Structure 1
Amino acid sequence: MLIDKNDVSVPVTVFARTSVAPDRAFQVVAPIDLTTVFKADRFFPGISSVANQSDTWDHVGVSRNPRFDDGSTVEEQLTEYVEGHGFAYELTGFTNALRNLAAGVRGEFSFLPDGEGTLIRWTYAFKPLPGRRLIIAGPFAPLWRRYMQAGLNRMVAATEATNAPGEA
């Protein structure tokens, strides 16, 4: 486990609503193509491809290596998976600037009923390297929150597209 109860992490959380039911939102978001979600902006590279995913992204233990447009990579492993409700993963082995700031990240998605739709909660909990917590919590977190919200908005658009008229 990357982060335990004794660690001081820096969480960044974003929320978005979709009109589709939680189980449907989960079915779209959990296996989503990362290249459609993580787009480059002024501060962060986008994901250009995913390597080494030898299995479907639907059970604990599966791993993959997202590759960024700047040539950097990260190792990602699914650590929790509850069909229709949520999943969690850990990111380690950053080869970009994050390698100088964090030992890793625990990401977590929750799909919560919200009337006829779903409230999606996405959290990134950074485990800062010694002496780096203030950098992550200070100037980095607001920029990362904006980047995450843009990605989550793209995920919501993908869920809404599955709820188009004429679809089951």
Structure 2
Amino acid sequence: MEAHSAGSSVYGLARAHTGISWDVALQTPPPAFYPSFGPLPAVVGVQNQPNTWDRVGYSRTLLLSDGSSVVETITDSERGASFGYDLTDFTKLFGNLVSGARAEWTFVSERSATLITWSYVFHARPGRGWLVRAIVALFWARYMRRVLPRIIAEIEAVNARSAHDPAERHDPLAS
């Protein structure tokens, strides 16, 4: 990791196959999974959301509870295996602290389960690395450890519904 970067990774095991895990983690609208935590604002809305959130080059704008926003752009996507996106155009406080961020998700089959890894790296603006590292250490890492279990719980709930009714197809964008 670069000297001006700060990041964190979390891991979790979802009792579902990689396809279901990938679909739920990435197709469920962000306000369902990303609440506020300490000084970190919640995701409260999404603008310019494509019909699916899975193709390289797609972008969307996340609206946050403090009135700020950030743009996400998909840089790589392999269904059931991995997903990555860059975050740019942070506004308000984070816009003054970071020039951007990178998020990556991997999904590895573990028998009838999926090992999920979620990694996040913030790129601090010059002279602000120490503050970004402190925010990541004190809040962001703990936030990720709270969010991933919520995502895994939804993955497992969708998997259980699919097991009871194989004809049921999960379409998180329809809800």
Q: Assess same fold via TM > 0.5.
A: yes
1:166 paired residue number: 164
Give 1:19-34 correspondences, 5 Å limit: 19-34=15-30
Distance 2:53 2:135 in 1: 32
Decide which structure has greater helix share: 2
Three-state SS of the structure 2 residue aligned to 1:30 is: helix
Cross-structure match for 1:132 = 128
Number of positions where the alignment pairs a residue of Structure 1 with one of Structure 2: 164
Unmatched 5+ stretches in structure 2: 167-175
| Paired position in structure 1 for 2:73 | 77
Supply the AA of the counterpart residue of 1:42: G
**C-alpha displacement at 1:82, in angstroms?**
0.7
Q: Deviations over 1:17-37 (max 9, x none)?
A: 111011220111121210011
In 2, Cα distance between the equivalents of 1:7 and 1:29?
A: 30
Residue 116 (structure 1) aligned with residue 107 (structure 2): no
Deviation at 1:6, TM superposition (A): 7.2
- Determine the structure 1 residue equivalent to 2:170: none
Which sits farther off after the overlay, 6-15 or 60-69?
6-15
CA distance in 2: counterparts of 1:116 and 1:135, whole angstroms: 41
Looking at structure 1, the residues matched to 2 and 91 of structure 2 have their Cα atoms a distance apart, in angstroms, of 26
Aligned match of 2:151: 155
How has the CA–CA distance of structure 1 residues 26 and 54 changed in structure 2, closer, same or farther, with 3 Å as cutoff?
closer
Deviations 1:88-127 (A, max 9, x none): 0011111132112211000000001223201110011111
**What is the TM-score when the length of structure 1 is the normalising length?**
0.89
Matching residue within 91, 94, 117 for 1:98: 94
Note the alpha carbon deviations across 1:107-151, whole angstroms, 9 max, x for none.
Answer: 000001223201110011111111222222234333101112222
Give a deviation string over 1:14-55, Cα, whole Å, max 9, x none.
111111011220111121210011112222111111001244
How is 1:13-52 mapped onto 2 (pairs within 5 angstroms)? 13-52=9-48
RMSD: 1.8
Q: Which amino acid aligns with 1:151?
A: V
User: Among the aligned pairs, what percent are the same residue?
Assistant: 33
Unpaired stretches in structure 1, ≥5 consecutive residues: none
Q: 1:53 aligns with which of 49, 52, 61?
A: 49
TM-score by length of 2: 0.86
